[in-house]
Chains A and B, each alone.
Chain A
């Protein structure tokens, strides 16, 4: 599939990484050039710096042949307009939007934009704050696919601490896309990435495998 992602923050870049690993063609659009450059360091030229609410920018990004658009910026207004342009101006078959402020859910539903409410408000703006007791947060369910982007907190004494990602026994359908270390620095993960205690890990996983994934990553010695 050709997938357009609007927004290159933590969610946008984690999604991009996971979807590229699944061999989809991905393009990420963001206004902020430094965010685009950070993602390109890892994934090559898959970004466009520009406003994903502008018809010209979308058009130049080949939106006409996109199968799916996912809008995950921190602005609900931007997300809605990107999805509406995609659906109504460019006939993209499917548009999914992240909602940052739950108060906007009704509007998105009335306008037939598929939504996914996330705890991002809580998580992205206060990434250093403690996650809930269970330590697994849904950043974004991918509607209609049975899968979700989740964030898991790694205990300091977890068995997986110090191991490389390629040496973990993870559920089949799971892709670890990003690591956030104790100090809050986020970076994209690869096979050689080493898991750190007290950090967070962002993964795309099958919702049925969530518990198994959580157990593997949080089991202590």
Chain B
């Protein structure tokens, strides 16, 4: 499958590597080229992970990262607002079958889940993990 990831931070680069190793073709979009140093060179050389410098909220940049043929879109940049905006472009304009979006603010994440986005809140997730660790 063809995956497009927005944001090559710690999360974005990890997800890209895992999906690449599973055999998917991964395009990864970030406005800062230096962020791509997080991707192992081997995966870049083999063309398994394809870095594109650009911003996920711009249609033109999304097209450069082959959004037209993507099966999955994952928005995991460091900021909620661009993630939400790009995810909605992917879902409603490019009609990507599966769109996943990171939203830190829990109340906002719940709202967008109700609007049909697959939204994941790290704050929610981490606090649950912490509680679990404490109660163990």
A residues engaging B (CB < 8 A)?
A: 53-56, 75-78, 80-81, 84-85, 88-89, 103, 106-107, 110-111
Interface contact A110-B82, CB-CB below 8 Å: no
Question: Chain B, interface size: which category?
Answer: 10 to 19
B residues engaging A (CB < 8 A)?
A: 57, 59, 80-82, 84-86, 88-89, 92-93, 105, 107-108, 111-112, 114-115
Our pick among A53, A56, A76, A110 for the contact of B80 (Cβ within 8 Å) is A53
Interface contact B92-A53, CB-CB below 8 Å: no
CB-defined contacts of A56 to chain B, threshold 8 Å: 105
Interface contact B111-A89, CB-CB below 8 Å: yes
Interface contact A78-B81, CB-CB below 8 Å: yes
Interface contact A107-B108, CB-CB below 8 Å: no
CB-defined contacts of B111 to chain A, threshold 8 Å: 84-85, 88-89
Interface contact A110-B92, CB-CB below 8 Å: yes
Q: How far apart are the CA atoms of A31 and B111 in the complex, in Å? A: 23
CB-defined contacts of A89 to chain B, threshold 8 Å: 107-108, 111
CB-defined contacts of B88 to chain A, threshold 8 Å: 80, 107, 111
CB-defined contacts of B82 to chain A, threshold 8 Å: 77
18 further A-B contacts with Cβ under 8 Å, apart from A77-B82, A80-B84, A88-B114, are A54-B105, A55-B105, A55-B107, A55-B108, A75-B81, A76-B57, A76-B85, A77-B57, A77-B81, A78-B81, A80-B88, A81-B80, A84-B84, A88-B111, A89-B107, A103-B59, A107-B88, A107-B93
